Amino acid sequence: MRPQYNNEQLILTIKRACSVPTSQFTYRDSDWVAMATDVLQTIVIPLVMATREEYFVTFEDVQSPVDGIIPFPEAAVGSKLRSVCYVSQPNPPIVINLPRIDLDVVAGVGAFNMGTLAGFYIQGSNIVLYPNGSVPTNTTIRLYYYKRSLVLAEPENYGQVQSVDPMTNTLVLDVVPNSWEVGMETNSIGPQPNFDITSSGYAVTALSSPSLILDSVDGIEVGDYLSEIGYSAIPQIPIEAMNYLAQLTAAKALEGLGDREGMKAAKDEADILKQSLLVMISQRVDGSIKKIVNPSGGLRLACGTWPRYRGW
């Protein structure tokens, strides 16, 4: 059997890191996963993002509205986008980057030179295409963004898929949590290596442990972990970051127990793991140095003639 990296294993690793007895009653599973979620979202994921190696990057295609105002994706970390692009051709895909225009520039643009700009500016939680007619209505805008990780689920609140019957939309799990009920929405996470979401929003229509019926099982495979929507049975980070997450959580737990000396030792160990992690996840393709390409340079499609080559 392949190694598992679920939250049950994470809790065991945390306990080993801070030498907390299995029988202790200070922290329950709900406390361990809550602390680990805090550390995951506030320390580990920002660290991985700081390598600028496209971890957690995904995209969402939206149709350009009449008013040119597009809300940020709900799952974007910090309401932050990687880039905004116009899909000029879907297959094979040709994606053209839209430049961000500073709001001061937009405010100072007169009617005489409005036609020379084509891009977007940010206003609150929205992307505003500028000018409105910079792309035709109902054409595809692709939003690349850093996807927020799901909240970690307690071990008793998820189950691993043992079999899938697509004819009847029936799943057999190793265990069906007692708290689950008909109508609950679910999501599933692939076991490894990337711990991606394989399904989301499928509702339970019937259950009888160890099986349950969903309104769809598309995308779900044997080995996936099923949990309530918004929760994950596995931290959605590179495998190499798992020990760093556990060590930081152990330091947080020791701080809560008032063990200042133990907390300091745990943080010192976490600093060592941090340096090792950065060595492993930085420069994802060692044999090929990342090129910095001028958006208007010779390596860009339609370079220097953006309005002319929009294809609209």
pLDDT of residue 81: 93
- C-alpha to C-alpha distance for 157 and 215, rounded to whole angstroms: 20
> At residue 200, what is the residue type?
S
What does pTM read for this prediction? 0.84
pLDDT of residue 311: 42
pLDDT of residue 193: 77
Say if residues 226 and 220 touch (Cβ distance below 8 Å).
yes
The tens digit of pLDDT for each residue in 98-153 reads 999 888 777 765 544 555 567 899 998 899 988 776 777 788 999 999 999 999 99
pLDDT of residue 305: 36
Average pLDDT rounded to a whole number, residues 260-284: 93
User: What do you get for the CA distance between the two ends of the chain, in Å?
Assistant: 53
CA-nearest of 201, 241, 287 to 10 is 241
Residue with tokens 């890191």: 17
Cα atoms found within 13 Å of the Cα of residue 87, Cβ hemisphere only: 19
263 vs 302, higher pLDDT: 263
Domain ranges of the chain: 7-51+151-239, 57-147
Q: 3-state DSSP call for residue 303?
A: coil
The tens digit of pLDDT for each residue in 24-82 reads 567 899 999 999 999 999 999 999 999 999 999 999 999 998 888 999 999 999 889 99
- Choice among 31-45, 134-148, 223-237, 278-292 with the minimum mean pLDDT: 278-292
Over the chain, what is the mean pLDDT? 87
